[in-house]
Structure 1
Amino acid sequence: MLKLKERHGSPYWYLRGTVRGISVDESTGIAIASKKQAEEFKARRENELLEESIHGKRATVTFSQAALSYIEQGGKQADAYRLADVIKHFGTTKLAKIGAPEIHAGAVAVFPTMQPASRRTHFYIPVSAILTHAQKMGWCDEIKFEWPAPSDGVVRWLTKEEAHRLIDEGKHIQALLTFLFYTGARISEAMDLQMQDLDLDRAHVQFIDTKNGTSRGVPLHTLVVEAMRRYFAVYRHNGGDVFRREDGQEYGHEAKASDRIKTVFKKACKRAGITNFRIHDTRHTWATWHYQKNRDLGALQKLGGWKTLEMVLRYAHTNVEELGDTIARL
């Protein structure tokens, strides 16, 4: 059977031993000071292994175990927003007991105030990735469930006059807003941008390991170069994060990228008289401007880092002024 062991240097109890031929040498994740809790964990684990020896691993693998395996093997959703909360929700629930009702209930429980499209991104996609991994490992059958419908693709964007009015009211994030409006960067790409990846002399920026798991380079508009030179004249730093707090210190990466500047951005929008506009909409604005001037969806897709051409078609659908003469001929 299993025994609790202390491993040198580890703050947790370890389980070692054999149950019906199944060898175990694993951390309990329970602190040394909590031996009673560790004893209870040991008893549960012995029962699980006994069940596994009789019915096979399919009957015993939990969501947490599947998630850990997925993360250790470098799954694309390993860094998903609040993935720890998703894993905590299902916890030691066996995969065999997770179906569509449990998944839908979990999405609401973990993200109660999110819109369906956001739940799709932050809950259904990572859960599906973990369950697909578990299926490939032979730990469960395919679990079928319907995802919330994707976003309807409505694009909120600003005119040049509106955008520059917002930039002017941005205070210490003026350079950041200029950068977002004229590069099409995701807010996470901008907030995590490092000094070594920005080259003002070459008028070029590179985004490393982006949301899509790839890197890309983007030429810098002259307005961005000028704004960044003014910014660095005030906030001088030789390395680390490019965009920082008003006091020149780094924001830190604990909070979601958009949350780090949420307050100052909302105040800037209010001062500029801009309503119903999110920080993510700066990317929509840049894409809309680019398509209006170039009518080149392929270039837009490459510069913006979208995976498929279908993802940029919304900007063609938004910009139909060039078709006005076809209506006039009716």
Structure 2
Amino acid sequence: MLSIRTRGKHGIYYIRGSVGLGKKKIIVKEFSTGTSDPDAAAHLMAEHETKLRHQLMFGPAALVAQGTIAQAFDSYLTKAKPPCASDVLRIGKLNGLIGDYSLREPKQAWEHFRRAYLTGHDPAGQDRYRSVFQAAINVYHELHDLPPLRIKAIPFNNERVRFLSKEDRDRLIAAYSPHIQPIITMLAFHGPRIQTALQLQWGVEGVDMHEGSIRLNHTKNAIIRSVPMHPRVMDVLRPIWEKQRRPTKEHVFLNRFGKPYQDTRKAKIPGGNPIKNQHATACQRAGIEDFTVHDWRHHWASHCVMAGIDLITIMNMGGWKSLRMVQRYSSVSVDHMRDSINRLS
């Protein structure tokens, strides 16, 4: 049975006890009703007992029946590891349109959101909304011992693989402004996403010049990997480190004003590549076409495959979450071998 008692000088009512049904029982730890009105407190106690009995009778499904999509978003946003700023914005859009939907109908809620808001969005953008929506629902499900929800992914073409020859690579790197060249060298020989590179700091949590290693914080997938530093990267970073008097913290890369680059992942409206214009100018100077800043990541992974590095190692070094994401590069080795065979005379 639940019981009610007052505590404190204001006479606030508290509820505690247990609720049973047959051999099943739920222990209720003491909690405040937030009121000193005995009738209101009694009403709250009766209402809470009814919910618990309903849960005992119908199992975990009863919790879903009582919840809303908005509650799932609250659970997701209060996790130990908060989501990135772009996911917070997406949740805001989702919550505004479907937050009032019952948790019994997550797929119906998702379809309503797609029709109401995502018409005209590219498939990759739609899938990012789907991914964060599914993750939020599953955080709530996990908290309440419910099975996970699966919403079919939005199909999109994510198979682009663009890489340069070693000669084109070096010509393009040389075409960048001098303060950009170390950043691009990092992209070419370690393959991080651009913001992962720009936000690197000196020391054991980032670029460790003493150990010759780099700890890459792949924030998109919440993966942090420490990898050996490539000699080319060591060669361009050492002068910067020496010039800054061998720091053990602070940003590695600074803009032309000597300031750290803005982390656009944390901006109110994420997006914008701070070296996009410099990249376009460098490509024009080097005569390189159809090559984006992100393509340096494809370039790195492709050359890893051609160097004989296995896909699992590439996945771990590059911070991909699944092997499926790097399997696109496997065909590169076939083309590379064909090219090598054709050179035989």
TM-score (norm 2): 0.68
Secondary structure class of the residue paired with 2:162:
coil
Q: In structure 2, how many angstroms separate the alpha carbons of the residues matched to 1:129 and 1:223? A: 39
CA separation of 1:107 and 1:318: change in aligned 2, threshold 3 A: farther
Q: What residue number does 2:70 align with? A: 64
Q: In structure 2, how many angstroms separate the alpha carbons of the residues matched to 1:203 and 1:175? A: 16
Q: What residue number does 1:74 align with? A: 80
Matched, 1:179 2:193: no
Q: What residue number does 1:252 align with? A: 262
Say which is worse superposed, 208-217 or 109-118, in terms of deviation.
109-118
Residue identity in the other structure for 1:90 = L
Q: What residue number does 2:328 align with? A: 314
CA separation of 1:102 and 1:58: change in aligned 2, threshold 3 A: closer
CA separation of 1:325 and 1:187: change in aligned 2, threshold 3 A: closer
Secondary structure class of the residue paired with 1:165:
helix
- Alpha-carbon distance, 1:249 to partner: 0.6
Q: What residue number does 1:299 align with? A: 313
Aligned residues: CA RMSD: 3.8
Which of 177, 201, 205 aligns to 1:194? It is: 201
- Alpha-carbon distance, 1:72 to partner: 1.9
Measured against aligned partners, the alpha-carbon deviations of 1:250-290 in whole angstroms (never above 9, x if no partner) come to 12323457623333333333333323222221111111112
CA separation of 1:190 and 1:66: change in aligned 2, threshold 3 A: same
Residue identity in the other structure for 1:187 = I
What are the ranges of 5 or more consecutive residues in structure 1 without an aligned counterpart?
1-14, 24-48
| Identity level (%) | 26
Q: In structure 1, how many angstroms separate the alpha carbons of the residues matched to 2:104 and 2:188? A: 47
Which of 117, 127, 145 aligns to 2:124? It is: 117
Q: In structure 2, how many angstroms separate the alpha carbons of the residues matched to 1:173 and 1:104? A: 44
Q: What residue number does 1:33 align with? A: none
Describe how 1:83-122 pairs up with structure 2 within 5 A: 83-91=87-95, 92-96=99-103, 99-100=106-107, 102-104=109-111, 106=113, 114-120=121-127, 122=128
Describe how 1:112-261 pairs up with structure 2 within 5 A: 114-120=121-127, 122-137=128-143, 145-171=151-177, 172-196=179-203, 197-208=206-217, 210-232=219-241, 238=247, 239-253=249-263, 254-255=266-267, 256=270, 259-261=273-275
| Equivalent pair of 1:59/1:94 in contact (CA under 8 Å) | no
Q: In structure 2, how many angstroms separate the alpha carbons of the residues matched to 1:325 and 1:247? A: 46
The alignment of Structure 1 onto Structure 2 pairs a total of residues equal to 286
Residue identity in the other structure for 1:79 = P
When Rg is computed on C-alpha atoms for both structures, the one with the higher figure is: 2
TM-score (norm 1): 0.70
Which of 280, 286, 295 aligns to 1:266? It is: 280
Q: In structure 1, how many angstroms separate the alpha carbons of the residues matched to 2:339 and 2:285? A: 35
What are the ranges of 5 or more consecutive residues in structure 2 without an aligned counterpart?
1-32, 55-61
Q: In structure 2, how many angstroms separate the alpha carbons of the residues matched to 1:306 and 1:68? A: 27
